[in-house]
Amino acid sequence: MQIKNFDDIKSIFFDNLTIKQTIFKNTFWLAIAEGVEKLAGLILLIYVARIFGATRYGEFSFALAFIGLFSIFWSFGLPRIIVRELSQREEWGKEFSAIFSLRIVLSIITLILILIGSFFVTPDPLTRKIIWILAVYTLFDNFAGFINFFFQAKQKMEYESWTRILRALLLTGFGFFVIFNFPSVKNLSYGYLFAGLIAFIIIMIFFHFKVYRVSFSFNKSLWKKYLKMSWPIALAGFFSIIYGQIDSVIMGYLKQITETGWYNAAYRIAGAAFIPISLISIPFYPVLSKAFKESQEKFQKVWDNQLEIMILLAFPVIVGGIILAPKIIDFVYDPSYTSSILALQILIIMAGISFLHNPFNQALIVFNQQTKFFWISLSGAIINIILNLLLIPKYSLYGAAMATVITAFVVLLIYIRFTLRFTSIKLLNLKFIWIGLLAIFSTIIMYLVISNHIIYNLHAIFSTIIGTATYFITFFILRFIIKNVGTTQLPF
């Protein structure tokens, strides 16, 4: 596309013109949203951890982890189905009212389950009340986030970006106001609740007047249609949440509240590595769905591009995270969180493995093989629960971290097996081998640079920037040399 005037520039960032341009546009807006959302959230939780200390922060993390066990029931696997189904058609407004009404019913049921469950998970009245407050906040926040899946289906991620930024800024603003003026875990929970409520009201008003008029429709046949498609994802999501949250719940149940604080402090930082996963996966998913409808060749090409990017990013995340973990923990928290260093070094391996999950995950959904998620997630949940019960009593937060890594690796192997068996994707590609070799060599160069005492002793931010720059500069220089100068031609 040639840029001749301001309207052309505007079209690049607001219109869907070509596949590459649409992916670029959506990635651009999601990058802004992810950057603001994750950075604001991370800064807030860092201050929460510093001001409240590991024990109080552990209480707050325990409450969020318990609520997280129920998170799949808010939407029951509908978002992925909504994006897949509505991205393949032009008209979708008639179904919105029914899906929105179904979402209300599911949210009420989930809230009741959380309130009942809180009486069994903790005898402490204050912790129970914190769970109740955060559960109501989660209801409003999930409703606001649910709207974004309609934006994704139409590949209008600029709207999603704006709503996510609004939610992040309100949450951070209320959070800082509370911790600096009325510092307590209970008051912070109220801050979350008010932020979620205000964001929900603003987003719903915007959607009602600018996108589609909100109405209610108790269309049981349509509910049945979507629930029939979504239940495998819902069950799979439930088991995935179990092995994502059960470690904190088990530690909290075993009265390891301080250790829960250390563990979640490390997990929050490892979670920052998931930002690129979202930036890549969310824009690719509707494109994959549309390409699948057009031709197998087109779908394979788009899917290959996604996996290549994930391979490219996984190696430096793991190695860089392990090396710089002591500096990152020291920069982000205070000396009382030194125990989080080893946990972060273990968890960053899980983050790297997770980069490779998404392409296979999305391929199964696009091929309408979402029922396979049930078996994948069930296997992961069983393995993780067993490992946590064996390792947490003996190794505490480090046992929880090891259980998470082992589970992530086993799940990846199952994903690969199921994708090869139940889809037409071709995985044996010379291009992947070349990408992997270049990524490994570039990671070695990055390791030599950031492990040098001069670079390592710099501020954590500068060490990270230098390591990142070294990796990508090395990768693209090697790729250019081999592709254009060497006698061996790369298949890309």
Average pLDDT over residues 173-197: 88
Q: What's the angle, vertex CA 139, arms to CA 135 and CA 142, rounded to 5?
A: 125
Q: What is the crossing angle of helices 357-366 and 296-332, to 10°?
A: 140
CA-nearest of 311, 305, 401 to 353 is 311
Predicted local confidence at residue 441, as pLDDT:
94
Quick check: 219 and 98 in contact, CB under 8 A?
A: yes
Quick check: 95 and 254 in contact, CB under 8 A?
A: no
Quick check: 416 and 361 in contact, CB under 8 A?
A: no
Quick check: 297 and 335 in contact, CB under 8 A?
A: no
Residue 209: DSSP 8-state: I
Name the pLDDT band for 9 (thresholds 50, 70, 90): low
Name the pLDDT band for 446 (thresholds 50, 70, 90): very high
pLDDT in tens, 317-361: 999 999 999 999 988 887 888 999 999 999 999 989 988 888 888
Does pLDDT of 416 surpass 50?
A: yes
Q: Of all helices (H) and strands (E), which one includes residue 389?
A: helix 371-422
Name the pLDDT band for 12 (thresholds 50, 70, 90): low
Q: What share of the chain is helix, strand, coil (3-state, %, to 5)?
A: 85, 0, 15
Q: What's the angle, vertex CA 371, arms to CA 368 and CA 373, rounded to 5?
A: 105
Give the integer Cα–Cα distance in Å for 313 and 355: 8
CA 101 to chain centre: 26
Average pLDDT over residues 279-294: 75
Give the integer Cα–Cα distance in Å for 276 and 34: 9
Name the pLDDT band for 390 (thresholds 50, 70, 90): very high
Q: Which residues of 146-158 are buried (b: 16+ CB within 10 A; e: fewer)?
A: bbbbbbbbbbbbb
Question: How far is the CA of 365 from the CAs of 209, 260, 283, 288, 289, in angstroms?
Answer: 32, 34, 15, 10, 9
Give the integer Cα–Cα distance in Å for 331 and 457: 12
Predicted local confidence at residue 432, as pLDDT:
79
Average pLDDT over residues 193-200: 90
pLDDT in tens, 105-163: 888 888 888 888 888 877 888 888 889 999 999 888 877 777 766 666 666 667 777 88
Question: Which pTM was predicted?
Answer: 0.66
Predicted local confidence at residue 487, as pLDDT:
47
Question: How far is the CA of 486 from the CAs of 432, 474, 476, in angstroms?
Answer: 19, 16, 14
Does pLDDT of 85 surpass 90?
A: no
Average pLDDT over residues 101-108: 83
pLDDT mean across residues, the chain: 81
